[in-house]
Chain A
Amino acid sequence: MNVEQITLPRKYHAAVEHWRRHWMPDYESLLANWDKYFPKDEAFCLCAKLELGTPDLIQIGDQRGEKKRLQPDQLTEEQAKHLLAIIRAQASTEFGSIQQHAGTLHRAADEEDRFWVLRVMAEELRHGYQMFHLLLSQDWDHVSGGVKGEEMVEEILSMQTGSHVLDAFNVEYDSFIDNICFAALVDRVGKYQLTMQKVCAYKPMADSMPPMLREEAFHLAAGVIPLRRWAQRAANGDPLVTMQVIQKSFNKWFPRALEMFGDERGGDTNIKFGFKDMKNREAQDRYVEEVQRMTRDVNSRYLRARFAHATPDKVETVLAELERSRGKHDGVSWDDLIHVPDPRFFRRKGESAWQLVGTQGEAFAGADDYLRHLAQHLPEAYLTTRDMRAYAETLRKVHSGEMSVADAIKKMPKLKRVGGTCPCSRSVRWVMEEPETGAAR
């Protein structure tokens, strides 16, 4: 592949390295063991990578056929503001996922699983670095409200779980199951976003996507392969791994993953500006279909282990029958399998936000009934978190008429930085942000 590698100016490179020492203490161990776990692979490089030889002309939107823009001031002010928000959000997700992974990485029961996640973290660090390159290599002053590149970098490096741009990155992991399910479900959204942005009318952004996508392919494998292995262990009666535990993690992450696409009714601006090639609903629908395929694959692995002497065709027939009947077959019930939750389940954003819809589409009469349903279907350790407490309070207010859905969509706890000079300062405290005014999407 024809790729140009770029290192940030020393000051910024050092800031990322400094952040990395806080949040990835095992980084040196990853590099030391690289050849053991990833033999023959290219050594890890903390650098920005730009694909060469990509299309020069805008591929979609109002300016289709014109030359792709090389500098922010070649975009309209509205376009540049919109793109800057995308880049900052993307950067936030990259650093945010590392912070989430770091919380439970050491609980991995298997060294290979741990090193796979460590590699994912290192590559997310590189993706964040890539976004910093986009922020710092050009002048965005005219659309950043006077905020300098340096300040944008500091702001992103000071974010923590709770203060990131997207909700999926503001939820703590409860166990290593979350590391894996996050890679399988949330990184999959990342793949969609990066794929959509390959057409971006801003060429440096478009050129950033192919190298990131190549790395993302392994991130998805680092989720799906352990899931397949766990399904086999669960089927073989391992008391420490159950399909129900995996299901609860799916229920936790799938709703947040769907919300990463943005409101189902939106996405027109991205197409009009030539930044992405799909609207939100179309991309989300394709994602759901892909998650269904992944879930079926894991279920198939489970059934094959349960019925070790059955032919592949027989296992396929049993799976299809269980999906149709939701009944039982030879000691295995539909409930033993993993299911993709209803896309309206446990939503805080989008057109199903704050509705009382169960994992399988059931309706609930009131907020407390619904919270009891959530308590049965979400990971136990997650139920007592600040995130869930805030969710429950808001849900009750919405369903008692105290708060509108539009206000609830905007109201979630945020960590707010209150001081400190270290770019990864932990001198933050929980505060409830006042709801902002404006459109819900």
Chain B
Amino acid sequence: MPELQSQTRVRPLDELDIGSVVRIDERITGRYRPEFWEQRVGYYLRRDPEASQVAEVDGKVVGFMLGDVRAGEFGLEQPSGWIERLGIDPDFRGRDLGKLLFDALLQHFERAGVTDVRTLVDERESGVAGFFNAMGFAPSSLRALELKVAARGKTA
């Protein structure tokens, strides 16, 4: 796809991408959440501004992947790369943008000396789970657990 590749660029996220991230999220979820994304983008920019990536097609931001390097999460003292958020404009899916974003993030993690990259996936979102599977992710011995507080109150 040489012609397609020439129109695509992946680069680190910056503060001027907030509007685009809000727009992509709204296209995916139907919710307009500027305050939420201002907080999240602010968080990633102050922690690790070279990690999170956006994908541009013809100069328009159409995808993003947010992550950083953290240590101490869940007792994992060794620094791990964490991928927290991923969004691709529905009109631009099927162009391998997710893979391009992931490759850029992975390169950053490798430069930072990370040996493990982690994420959490909702099994009900088969598309997201399938994407990470295709990127080489495998189930970990760490399992996500949750407790419904209200339910516990009734049974206690």
Interface residues of A (CB under 8 A from B): 1-2, 38, 40-42, 119, 214, 217-218, 220-225, 228-229, 232, 290, 293-294, 297, 300-301, 304, 312
Contacts and interface: CB of A to CB of B under 8 A. Distances in A.
Interface stretch (B11-19, B99-107, B118-126): B11-19
B56 interface: no
B16 A225 contact: no
B16 A218 contact: no
B38 A41 contact: no
A220 B42 contact: no
B18 A220 contact: no
A293 B14 CA distance: 12
Given A1-B111, A214-B50, A221-B42, 10 more contacts: A2-B113, A119-B46, A214-B49, A220-B15, A222-B42, A290-B16, A297-B19, A304-B32, A304-B34, A312-B26
B9 interface: no
Nearest to A184: B15
22 contacts: A38-B46, A40-B47, A40-B70, A41-B46, A42-B47, A214-B49, A214-B50, A217-B46, A217-B49, A218-B42, A218-B45, A218-B46, A220-B14, A221-B46, A224-B15, A228-B18, A232-B34, A293-B16, A294-B16, A297-B16, A301-B19, A312-B32
A225 B15 CA distance: 8
B47 to A, nearest CB: 6
Contacts of A228: 18, 34, 38
Interface of A is mostly: helix
A222 B45 CA distance: 10
B15 A217 contact: yes
Given A297-B16, A297-B18, A301-B19, A217 B45 contact: yes
Interface of B: 14-16, 18-19, 23, 26-27, 32, 34-35, 38, 41-42, 45-50, 70, 111-113
A162 B41 CA distance: 35
Contacts of A290: 16
A225 B18 CA distance: 9
Contacts of A214: 48-50
Contacts of A223: 15
A224 B112 contact: no
A221 B19 contact: no
Contacts of B18: 224-225, 228, 297
A306 to B, nearest CB: 14
A-B pairs, 7 with minimum CB distance: A217-B49, A218-B46, A221-B15, A224-B15, A221-B45, A297-B19, A217-B45
A218 B38 CA distance: 12
A220 B47 CA distance: 13
Given A218-B49, A304-B32, A229 B16 contact: no
A78 B110 CA distance: 40
Contacts of B23: 312
A188 to B, nearest CB: 10
A202 B143 CA distance: 50
Interface core residue of A38, A217, A218 (most chain B CB under 10 Å): A217
Given A40-B70, A214-B50, A300 B19 contact: yes
Contacts of B15: 217, 220-221, 223-225
Contacts of A225: 15, 18, 38, 41-42
A224 B49 contact: no
Nearest to B47: A41
Contacts of B46: 38, 41, 119, 217-218, 221
A301 B34 contact: yes
A290 B34 CA distance: 21
